[in-house]
Structure 1
Amino acid sequence: METSDGRGSVDLQTDRAHGARIYDYILGGKDNYAADRAAAEATLQVWPALPVHMRANREFMHRAARYLATECGVDQFLDIGTGIPTSPNLHEVVQEVRPDARIVYTDNDPIVLVHARALMSSTEQGRTAYVDADLRDPDTILNSPEFRETLDLNRPIALMLLAVVHFIEDDEEALAATNRIIDVLPPGSYVAATIATDDFAPQTLAEVRRTYREHGETLRFRTKPRATRFFEGLDLVDPGLVQMHKWRPDAETEKAADTDIAMYAAVARKP
C-alpha cells in the first residue's frame, strides 16, 4: 500500500497482530486486519474489560495533554507510539488550548505511516510532523529532521509514552531507550506515560499475555516498583503513579473497577 504522502509502498505486515491495530479494532476502528481481529477477539474471551481499559488510556491522554498545555504552559509535544489516528488526536487536544503548539508523532507500525497525513492537520499557527521510527532506536527519532525542525530544544517539551513501553520486554532496554530521549529534553520538560501492569488481576492478565504471544505480539507487564523506575530523576506531579482512571479524573472519566485497568499512569517534570 502507498503511504499517504506518496513515498511509495510499505509492507503492512498483515500476517501478524500489531498492538496499535488491536487497539484500533477494540475502539471500533477500521484500520485492522484478520490477525488483529483474531487477537482482539481471543483477548476479549479471557478479559472482557479490554475496551474499558483501552478507553481509559485514551481518556488519560486527553486529561494529561490538557493539563500540560493549560496548567503547565507546554506548547511542544513528542508522542512516541502514537498509534492509528483517532480523533481527537493529541494535536487537536493541545491546539484547542494552544493553537501555536507543535507536535511530533512517531510510530513503527507501517499502517500509521499510511495514515500519517491525518496526524498532520495542524492549526495555521502550530505545526505537526511524523517520524516513522521505533522507540527501541531513539537516535533515529532524535536525529530526524522532523524532530529537529519542529521542536525547539531550548524550551520545555512534553514526552508522551502512552501504552508503548510494554512492547519492549527487557526492562533495561526499555529504560535505556526512554532515558536517552529524556536526557535530551531541556529542564522544565515533562514525561507523561502509561505502563502496563498485572498488579490488579494477575491471573487474568497472564492469559492476556499468553493470547497476545500466540498471535505474534509482545506484552510485558510491570509491577509498580518497576514502573516507577521510568520516572527516576523526575518530579512526579500529584497524585503520582496511579492507575490511569485515578489520575486527575474529571466529569468525562469513565468509571471502572481496579481489576479492569491494567496500566499505571503518571506525569512528571524534569528538574
Structure 2
Amino acid sequence: MDSDAAREIDIESAHSARIYDYILGGKDYYPADQQAGDAMVRAWPALPVHMRANRDFMNRAVRHLAEEAGTRQFLDIGTGIPTSPGMPMRLRTLAEAGQFFEGLELVEPGIVQVHRWRPEGTDSTEIRDEDIAMYGAVARTPG
C-alpha cells in the first residue's frame, strides 16, 4: 500500500468518532456521519445528553487530576481518531466495568454513571439516570 492510499479517509461510510463530533456540534464530519448521527438520535433521543455527559465527566476528571491530585502530564489513549479496522463498541455491566479497576484505589465516588461523578458546578442534576449508558471513575495505583 502506498503512502497516499494509507492516508485516504473513507467519507462515504459513517465513523463513530465523526458521528460523536457531529452530535456534539463539532465540524469534523461528513454527510454519512451526519445521516448516521441523525438516525441514532431518532432512535435514542437522549444520545446528545449522554454524549455531553461523557465529555463533561472527562473534563471534571482531568480537572480533579490536575488541580487536586497534582498530575502534570496526561496521555489520551483512544482519542477517537478514525482508523482501520473500526473504534466496535461493547456494552458492559457495572460489575464488568469494575474489573478494569481491580487492584487500584478508586477516587470517591467510585464507579458511577458519568453524570454522577463529582457533578459540582454542572447541570447534571437535570440529567436523568436512564438517559446515561456509561460508567466513569478515576483511580490511582496504591502506594
Deviation above 6 Å: which 4+ runs of structure 1? none
Corresponding residue for residue 27 of structure 1: 24
Could you state the TM-score of these two structures normalised by the residue count of structure 2? 0.87
Corresponding residue for residue 234 of structure 1: 104
Corresponding residue for residue 77 of structure 1: 74
Question: Which is bigger in relative contact order (C-alpha 8 A, separation at least 6)?
Answer: 2
Corresponding residue for residue 246 of structure 1: 116
How far has the Cα of 1:15 moved from its partner?
Answer: 2.5
Corresponding residue for residue 137 of structure 2: 266
For structure 1, the residue ranges without an aligned partner over 5 or more in a row are 1-6, 84-106, 111-132, 135-166, 168-217
Q: Quote the Cα distance in structure 2 between the aligned partners of 1:59 and 1:253.
A: 10
1:76 alignment partner, SS class: coil
Could you state the TM-score of these two structures normalised by the residue count of structure 1? 0.47
The answer to whether the 8 Å contact 1:235/1:269 transfers is: yes
What letter corresponds to residue 129 of structure 2 in structure 1? D
The answer to whether the 8 Å contact 1:234/1:268 transfers is: yes
Superposition pairs for residues 1-271 of structure 1, below 5 Å? Answer: 10-83=7-80, 107=81, 109=82, 167=87, 218-254=88-124, 255-271=126-142
The answer to whether the 8 Å contact 1:56/1:253 transfers is: no
How far has the Cα of 1:32 moved from its partner?
Answer: 0.6
Q: Quote the Cα distance in structure 1 between the aligned partners of 2:110 and 2:123.
A: 18
Q: How many residues align?
A: 137
How far has the Cα of 1:253 moved from its partner?
Answer: 3.6
2:65 alignment partner, SS class: helix
